[in-house]
């Protein structure tokens, strides 16, 4: 039987994505990832080097998928907020990966994919502010942080919150878009 290295890498990334999203970096087990991927642990180390490097590959893939699916438009931040809300509603594992990344890698070496995305977005926000398309009462970094926080507010609430504010995805999305519209008015 001929080995298909690309298929093995893809299976490892898929298994690792599920494992890391569920358990974080510390809780993830290389043995389980290899077993679910249908290969041995040695292959995982051969392709990715370490568990941390595997997480970096998973998270970089997540960032790429996010960028393909959630178009950023500094001139239409309410629309971006709605698309961001939709993405995390449809992909809760993606939000869990982002949370694990922030919790478990706060002082790690920065991932180039994340650094580049932030740089481009902040440049676009600064340009939109200088062109008068966005108010300048917040720095681009503060504005991006606020928009992203508003967009993920509902999906990051404790589950008990549903008792006082029953889930209504359309109303929640509308509130996100309206809040960002008001923020940027």
Tell me which residues of the chain have a pLDDT lower than 50.
1
**What global pTM score does this model have?**
0.85
Q: Which pLDDT score is estimated for 1?
A: 45
Q: Which pLDDT score is estimated for 162?
A: 80
Q: Where are the domains of the chain?
A: 1-57, 70-185
> What is the 3-state secondary structure of the chain?
CCCCHHHHHHHHHHHHHHHHHHHHHHHCCHHHHHHHHCCCHHHHHHHHCCHHHHHHHHHHHHHHHHHHHCCCCHHHHHHHHHHHHHHHHHCHHHHHHHHHHHHHCCCCCCCHHHHHHHHHHHHHHHHHHHCCCCCCCCCHHHHHHHHHHHHCCHHHCCHHHHHCCCCCHHHHHHHHHHHHHHHCC
Task: Note the CATH number of domain 1-57.
Answer: 1.10.10.60
Q: Which pLDDT score is estimated for 132?
A: 95
Task: Note the CATH number of domain 70-185.
Answer: 1.10.357.10
pLDDT in tens, 94-127: 999 988 988 887 776 677 878 888 999 999 999 9
Q: Which pLDDT score is estimated for 3?
A: 63
């Amino acid at each position: 039987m001929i080995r298909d290295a690309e298929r093995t890498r893809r299976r490892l990334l898929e298994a690792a994505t599920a494992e890391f999203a569920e358990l974080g970096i510390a809780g993830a087990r290389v043995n389980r990832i290899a077993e679910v991927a249908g290969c041995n642990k040695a292959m995982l180390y051969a392709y990715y080097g370490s568990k941390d490097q595997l997480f970096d590959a998973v998270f970089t893939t997540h960032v790429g998928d996010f960028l393909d699916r959630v178009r950023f438009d500094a001139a239409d931040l309410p629309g971006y907020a709605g698309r961001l809300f939709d993405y995390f509603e449809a992909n809760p594992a993606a939000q869990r990966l982002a949370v694990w990344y922030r919790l478990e890698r706060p002082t790690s070496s920065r991932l180039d994919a994340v650094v580049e995305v932030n740089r481009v977005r902040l440049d676009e926000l600064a340009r939109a502010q200088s062109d008068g398309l966005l108010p300048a009462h917040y720095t681009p970094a503060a504005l991006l942080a606020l928009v992203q926080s508003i967009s993920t507010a509902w999906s990051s609430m404790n589950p008990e919150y549903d008792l006082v504010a029953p889930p209504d995805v359309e109303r929640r999305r509308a509130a996100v878009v309206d809040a960002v519209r008001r923020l940027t008015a």
